[in-house]
Amino acid sequence: MDATKPATAAWRVYQGVTTGAIDEKDLIVRFLPLVRNVVDRIKLTLPPHIDADDLYSVGVTGLLAAVRKYNPEQGNTFAGYAATRIRGAVLDELRRLDWCPRRARARARKLKESINDLEQRLGRTATEDEICEEMGVSQAEYRKWLDESRPLTFVALDSHAAGEESEGASLHEFLADDNDVTGRETLEKEELLKLLTQRMADLPDIPRKILAMYYFEKMRLAEIAEVFGLTESRICQIHSQTILGLRSYLGRARNK
């Protein structure tokens, strides 16, 4: 059975609703590829010193929790529910490890503040040149800041923003701002998605397509880079700038 397919029948057997020979171990083994998929996607954005095997072990713990708590009657696919639990377990572990350097956090915060101030004045999405001028830095220095901030724009430190049916990366999950929990909670999910959809429609062509390819079409960064004839590093920089801009926009919308 493909781990990405619904497994309602298996859970009915497991929970004793119908007869059969399936057990907890069988279910864990069946969905181990999902753990690897989630962990590998997160690991791509992390520093080299983070051990993927350690994260995999944590992810298996998340899968076990999903097996024990999943209720097929709620209508969610198990793959989606499990992906959320696995991702949440891994991100909680990363938060516990305090894995991201303070310098990277400080630079991501400075970038977000600069983009926010600039776009408030412009009333639109800021260009790279405009942000460089706003910050008083060269293009090379600005892109270096984006590179250092990359992990914080690809890995959300709050797993609860994702919908339970998401099997891969969820865009509004990655827009979660670890420094803005209270404010984020004031936005209903429907309003958040509405604002996000509106803002994405106004994005320049390339950033909008990069987000669509990565989060909705589940393309790898190398594949996206090939489509645009850019380096993978440049795709990451565009992604980081766009995510920081979207976070700023949602923050402004919340405070209106």
d(C-alpha 83, C-alpha 164), whole Å? 8
User: What burial class does residue 142 get, using C-beta atoms within 10 Å of its C-beta: 0-12 exposed, 13-18 middle, 19+ buried?
Assistant: buried
13 falls in which pLDDT band (50, 70, 90)? low
Distance between CA atoms of residues 189 and 170, nearest Å: 13
What pLDDT digit, counting tens, does each position of 195-243 carry? Answer: 788 888 889 999 999 988 887 787 888 899 999 999 999 999 999 999 8
Q: How far apart are CA 110 and CA 124, in angstroms?
A: 19
How much is the average pLDDT of 8-31? Answer: 63
Q: Can you spell out the DSSP letters for 74-126?
A: G---HHHHHHHHHHHHHHHHHHHHT-S-HHHHHHHHHHHHHHHHHHHHHSSPP
CA triple 24-26-27, angle to 5 deg:
65
Whether this prediction's pTM lies above 0.85 is answered by no
pLDDT digits (tens, 9 = 90+) for 116-152: 999 999 988 999 999 999 999 999 999 999 988 887 7
Side chain identity, residue 134: E
CATH 1.10.1740.10 corresponds to the domain 8-97 = yes
Structure tokens at 206: 């390339």
102-255 domain in CATH 1.10.101? no
Where are the chain's structural domains?
Answer: 8-97, 102-255
